[in-house]
């Protein structure tokens, strides 16, 4: 836990100073700043003048303590680095800001224990709402959320029983749909490359979707067609090469995550394997990159931005007074058929 530090140089001006200089009571200053309409124009002008003269910045810490309200929302993502989250974060940040809220952000590094520690820390900071990308949580997280009653949004998957509200798509359905799509296109030996499965409900659901589709297609469920790889270009390339070696007849690869598919595509370019002639490639998540690569890559469009926007909107509504309501919003997904399949 450790150190915090003394705020230095502040010749801290406070509300009572402004009040004195404006010749009004502190309460009037407080009101003039927060609910200008409840104060006469004369007062408001006096207050505004004093505020400007001294460059006064209200102390929101004091305000929050006093009012028992906070205007900070906490967000925990597995990794900040990932551009998928970045889209969502941007959307959340924009909606929050438009409504006068701020965003405190932390990354759990895909570790449930870290998520737990961060949830506790954010709640200690008395955030007024929480957005969690993860949908499986330690018991203490569930307890804390229940006990404090903070509104929570889960965004990474559609859990059967959300903690509170969930805004997401079904990883299972998405992976199933893409696999089925490949089947419809005539591919028969479809490899599946997944992100690490440990502590990751999204990955597990995607794999489940893949197998479900195979079954529906009447194709054999061959575990050796499934490879687990951390995200990244090289990892995608490696995975494809390994699959091609162990399964010479492989006709398609479905890369369920990150930039794996692009890595595989580049590998094909290097080796002169025609895509989709020699092997078809499908991806997950509509990175800009996939639309511009040569050939363009078939993928699943997940509305990350919309997930962020709607999450923040729901949170803001609740914070502004909407009654608590267990919600489970499916934003859906879309198969984007391109040249690579």
Partner DNA sequence: CATTCTCTTGGTATCGCTACCATCCTATAG
Partner DNA sequence: CTATAGGATGGTAGCGATACCAAGAGAATG
Window 118-147: residues binding DNA (CB under 7 A): none
Nearer to DNA, 124 or 160 (CB): 124
Q: Contact region for a second copy (CB under 8 A) — 15-23, 196-204, 207-215, 285-293?
A: 285-293
Residue 144 partner contact from DNA, a second copy, none using kind-dependent CB cut-offs of 5 to 8 Å: a second copy
Q: Is the CB of residue 204 less than 8 Å from the CB of residue 175?
A: no
Residue 155 partner contact from a second copy, DNA, none using kind-dependent CB cut-offs of 5 to 8 Å: none
Q: Which residues contact 65 (CB under 8 A, 6 or more apart)?
A: none
Q: Contact region for DNA (CB under 7 A) — 31-39, 83-91, 99-107, 146-154?
A: 31-39
- Pick from 103, 261, 282, 307: which binds a second copy (CB under 8 A)? 103
CB of 317 to DNA, least distance (A): 19
Q: Is the CB of residue 37 less than 8 Å from the CB of residue 19?
A: no
Nearer to DNA, 150 or 167 (CB): 150
The size of the interface with a second copy (CB under 8 A), counted in residues, is 84
Residue 262 partner contact from a second copy, DNA, none using kind-dependent CB cut-offs of 5 to 8 Å: a second copy
CB of 106 to a second copy, least distance (A): 7
With 0-12 CB in 10 A as exposed, 13-18 as middle and 19+ as buried, what is 143? exposed
Q: Contact region for a second copy (CB under 8 A) — 22-30, 94-102, 177-185, 278-286?
A: 94-102
Q: Which residues contact 19 (CB under 8 A, 6 or more apart)?
A: 25, 26, 28, 29
- Pick from 28, 30, 93, 168: which binds a second copy (CB under 8 A)? 93
212 binds a second copy (CB under 8 A): no
Q: Is the CB of residue 73 less than 8 Å from the CB of residue 89?
A: no
Report helix, strand or coil for 281: strand
Nearer to DNA, 19 or 312 (CB): 19
- Pick from 30, 87, 168, 298: which binds a second copy (CB under 8 A)? 87
112 binds a second copy (CB under 8 A): no
Nearer to a second copy, 83 or 136 (CB): 83
Q: x/- contact string, 20-59, with a second copy (CB under 8 A)?
A: --------------x--------------------x-xxx
197 binds a second copy (CB under 8 A): no
Q: Which residues contact 201 (CB under 8 A, 6 or more apart)?
A: 134, 135, 136, 156, 157, 159, 171
The DSSP 8-state label assigned to residue 303 in this structure reads -
Q: Which residues contact 173 (CB under 8 A, 6 or more apart)?
A: 209, 333
- Give the DSSP H/E element, type plus range, for residue 85: helix 83-98
Q: Contact region for a second copy (CB under 8 A) — 97-105, 192-200, 218-226, 241-249?
A: 97-105
148 binds DNA (CB under 7 A): no
Distance between CA 77 and CA 82 in Å, rounded? 9
- Pick from 45, 49, 53, 66: which binds DNA (CB under 7 A)? 66
Distance between CA 318 and CA 82 in Å, rounded? 28
- Which residues are bridge partners to 194 per DSSP? 228, 256
- Pick from 1, 3, 11, 68: which binds DNA (CB under 7 A)? 68
Alpha-carbon distance values, 116 to 138, 149, 200 (Å): 7, 16, 15
**How far is residue 10 CA from its own chain's centroid?**
36
């Amino acid at each position: 836990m450790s150190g915090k530090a003394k705020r230095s140089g502040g010749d801290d001006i406070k509300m009572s100073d402004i009040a004195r200089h404006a010749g009004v009571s502190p309460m009037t200053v407080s009101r003039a700043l927060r609910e200008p309409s409840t104060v006469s124009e004369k007062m408001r002008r006096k207050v505004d003048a004093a505020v400007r003269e001294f460059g006064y910045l209200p102390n929101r810490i004091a305000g929050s303590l006093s009012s028992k309200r906070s205007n900070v929302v906490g967000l925990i993502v597995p990794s900040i680095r990932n551009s998928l989250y970045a889209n969502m974060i941007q959307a959340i940040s924009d909606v929050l800001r438009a409504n006068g809220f701020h965003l405190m952000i932390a990354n759990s590094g895909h570790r449930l224990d870290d998520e737990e520690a961060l949830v506790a820390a954010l709640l200690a900071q008395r955030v007024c709402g929480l957005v969690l990308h993860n949908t499986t949580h330690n018991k203490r997280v569930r307890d804390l959320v229940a006990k404090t009653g903070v509104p929570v949004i889960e965004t990474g998957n559609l859990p059967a029983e959300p903690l509170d509200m969930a805004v997401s798509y079904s990883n299972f359905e998405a992976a199933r749909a893409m696999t089925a799509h490949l089947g419809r296109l005539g591919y028969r030996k479809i490899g599946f490359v997944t992100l690490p499965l440990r502590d990751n409900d999204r990955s597990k659901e995607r794999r489940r979707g893949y197998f479900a589709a195979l079954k529906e297609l009447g194709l054999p469920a061959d575990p050796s067609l499934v490879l687990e790889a951390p995200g990244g270009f090289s990892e995608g390339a490696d995975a494809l090469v390994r699959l091609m070696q162990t399964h010479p007849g492989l006709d398609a690869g479905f890369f369920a995550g990150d930039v794996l598919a692009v890595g595989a595509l580049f590998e094909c370019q290097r080796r002169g394997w025609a895509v989709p002639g020699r092997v078809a490639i499908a991806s997950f998540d509509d990175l800009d990159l996939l639309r511009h690569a040569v050939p363009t890559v078939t993928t699943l469009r997940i509305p990350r931005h919309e997930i962020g926007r709607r999450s923040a909107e729901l949170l803001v509504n609740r914070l502004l007074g909407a009654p608590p309501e267990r919600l489970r919003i499916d934003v859906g997904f879309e198969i984007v058929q391109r040249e690579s399949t």
